[in-house]
Amino acid sequence: MKKIILSVGTLSLGLLLAACGQNPIQPSSQTPEQSTQVENSQTTDAMNATKDTDDAEDSTPISTNQTSQQKPSVSVTEAIEVFQKEFPDTDITSIDLDTSFGNFFYKIEGVNDLKEYEIKVDAATKGIREREEDDLDADEKNGVKRQEEKLDLSKLLTVDEVTKIAIEQTQGGQATDWDLDREGAVTYWEVDVENGKQEATVKIHAQTGEVLEVELDD
């Protein structure tokens, strides 16, 4: 009995040693210092991945339906003064503020009893770009056209003020063109606004700011 037991024990021990021999435990080839460096590297990579995600979220553009609005540095009042200095004793019949290759300019027309005049005023320097004058037709002379078309320039709303009103009416966008004109006894601003693919024209009373008309272009 003892031999059998010893034989079984010896066999079991032999099997155990054989199994250990087939799957030997591999000792780590890394020193404690190298293990610490690996852990630090993994931590740094994780932190960088988190930072990249945060940066990507911060760089997401804020959605808005209103674009940045450029403005002329010369006011409409200053442009009127340039015209009146160039052509004394005249009445202004129309003013257009427009852009050409990103530069603003005023086109101003006016008349006296015999002639009609037109100039373009640089909206950055107040310099005169172009200057024209022509004789009025016979039926326009002697104050006829002057009386019918002269603008009311008293208490005139500024370009900034009518731009704000127009953009509120179109719920965003950017104003691209401003015309000061007259219909009947009313002097009004007409402001063109682009909002995405939609264009609109807003007609505004030049003294009171009342919105007279909004026309949408498909």
Give the pLDDT confidence of 182-204 residue by residue, as tens digits.
Answer: 999 999 999 999 988 889 999 99
- Residues 161, 130, single domain; the answer is no
Give the SS3 label for residue 29: coil
Q: How many domains does the chain have?
A: 2
- Residues 182, 209, single domain; the answer is yes
**3-state SS of the chain: helix, strand, coil percent to 5?**
35, 30, 30
The residue segments making up the domain with residue 162 are: 155-218
- Residues 201, 214, single domain; the answer is yes
Which among 76, 82, 148 is positioned nearest to 111, based on CA atoms?
148
| Domain final residue, candidates 101, 121, 150 | 150
CATH number at residue 162: 3.10.450.40
Which among 204, 193, 192 is positioned nearest to 157, based on CA atoms?
204
How far is Cα 128 from Cα 125, in angstroms, rounded to an integer? 9
Is residue 35 included in any domain, yes or no?
no
DSSP designation for 123: T
Sites in the chain below the pLDDT cut of 70: 1-69, 218
- Residues 146, 159, single domain; the answer is no
The pTM is what? 0.68
How far is Cα 131 from Cα 91, in angstroms, rounded to an integer? 16
Contact (Cβ atoms closer than 8 angstroms) between residue 135 and residue 114: yes
Is residue 82 included in any domain, yes or no?
yes
Which residue type occupies 163? T
* pLDDT tens digits, 104-117: 999 999 999 999 99
Question: What would the two tokens of residue 154 be?
Answer: 């008293």
- Residues 112, 186, single domain; the answer is no
